[in-house]
């Protein structure tokens, strides 16, 4: 950690409260600025039309049908939010052990991409690449007969998934599976398919966290998950390992990297930014959101101030942007 410099002069010549005395001065001296352009808004896609289904474990968050996703994208664009992230709630009848619905060019994600591009062509679309929304076992990859995650076989599926999303109009492919070598493999097929401008935002440091529970409810995979994901997601005890993961993904062609979860891993965000000076994003995940929102609704914390303070913390740690379920609310507050 860098040492804290001693002030040039002691009290009373130096009074650090001076710049805090007025709102204009606090704004002038602020080290980090927060704006709607810093947010990526995660949205959950469901089948149907005019369908808005609340996620019980995430107060204030709904699953939206494709037509309502398009409306949300238009709202995001009007608020200055630059990017939408899509996560499908795949119907049970379309889930299989091999997750082949991920390769369907007419799946929920692909239809939502096209609807967003038609409604709000100026907004970016980020898509998740992993098999857990499509499998009957809830894992991000293919399983062997004895229950092991098959790394290399999974990568072939992820390549196909990335291609169908790029063909549908995705701007950022975001592999969240944590298979070794998947960034290079996805970059290879994107280049071969002439998708030279499609970005890869790698979930480079994705931890095997207890904070994902509400998300799994939202995409309908929680009840399917057999076992845990500790053989491919990172150990929460490790930070040096995160730097190795990030270094590999950069070398394989990632344009930006993500740390997930967010607030419990601010130290990892700061270390990644200091080490690589690459665009770093954080995901303020479902468990973080649910805790904060539940506390706010119980009157335990001041909601508006909490939202801005929490998101500012990510920027202070070194984030270029944040995936947050508070994107719309924060954009309105910053309005």
Instruction: Tell me the pLDDT tens digit for each residue of 303-318.
Output: 999 999 999 999 999 9
The yes-or-no verdict on residue 1 having pLDDT over 60 is: no
Is residue 188 part of the annotated active site? The answer reads no
The answer to whether 245 is annotated as binding is yes
Q: Which of 117, 206, 229, 273 is catalytic?
A: 206
Give residue 323's pLDDT band: very low, low, confident or very high (50, 70, 90): very high
Which residues fall within 8 angstroms of residue 53, CB to CB, at 6 or more apart?
46, 62, 63
Q: What is the pLDDT of residues 262-305, one digit of tens each?
A: 999 999 999 999 999 999 999 999 999 999 999 999 999 999 99
Q: Which of 117, 188, 230, 260 is catalytic?
A: 260
- Predicted TM-score (pTM) of the model is 0.95
Is residue 260 part of the annotated active site? The answer reads yes
In order of start, what are the domains of the chain with their CATH numbers?
Answer: 34-334 (3.20.20.70)
pLDDT at 224 (0 to 100): 81
Q: 126 phi and psi, to 5 degrees?
A: -105, 135
pLDDT at 7 (0 to 100): 64
């Amino acid at each position: 950690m860098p040492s804290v410099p001693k002030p040039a002069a002691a009290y009373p010549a130096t009074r650090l409260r001076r710049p805090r005395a007025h709102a204009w001065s606090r704004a002038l001296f602020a080290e980090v600025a927060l704006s709607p352009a810093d947010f990526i808004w995660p949205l959950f896609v469901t089948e149907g039309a005019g369908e808005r289904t609340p996620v019980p474990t995430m107060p204030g968050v709904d699953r939206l049908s494709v037509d309502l996703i398009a409306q949300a994208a238009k709202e995001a664009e009007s608020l200055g939010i630059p990017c939408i992230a899509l996560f499908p709630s795949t119907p049970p009848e379309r889930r299989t052990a091999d997750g082949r619905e991920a390769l369907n060019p007419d799946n929920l994600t692909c239809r939502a991409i096209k609807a967003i591009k038609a409604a709000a062509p100026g907004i970016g679309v980020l898509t998740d690449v992993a098999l857990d929304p499509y499998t009957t076992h809830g894992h991000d990859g293919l399983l062997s007969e004895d229950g092991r995650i098959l790394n290399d076989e999974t990568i072939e599926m992820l390549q196909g998934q990335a291609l169908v999303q790029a063909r549908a109009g995705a701007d950022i492919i975001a592999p969240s599976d944590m298979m070794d070598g998947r960034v290079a493999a996805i970059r290879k097929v994107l280049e071969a398919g002439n998708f030279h401008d499609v970005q890869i935002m790698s979930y480079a440091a994705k931890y095997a966290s207890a904070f994902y529970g509400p998300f799994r409810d939202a995409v309908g995979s929680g009840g399917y998950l057999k076992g845990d994901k500790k053989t491919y997601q990172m150990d929460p005890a490790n930070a040096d390992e995160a730097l190795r993961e990030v270094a590999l993904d950069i070398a394989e062609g990632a344009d930006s990297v993500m740390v997930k979860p967010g607030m419990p891993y601010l130290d990892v965000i700061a270390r990644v930014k200091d080490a690589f000076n690459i665009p770093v994003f954080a995901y303020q995940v479902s468990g973080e959101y649910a805790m904060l929102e539940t506390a706010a609704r119980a009157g335990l914390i001041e909601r508006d101030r909490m939202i801005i303070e929490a998101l500012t913390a990510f920027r202070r740690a070194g984030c270029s942007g944040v995936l947050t379920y508070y994107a719309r609310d924060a954009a309105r507050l910053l309005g």
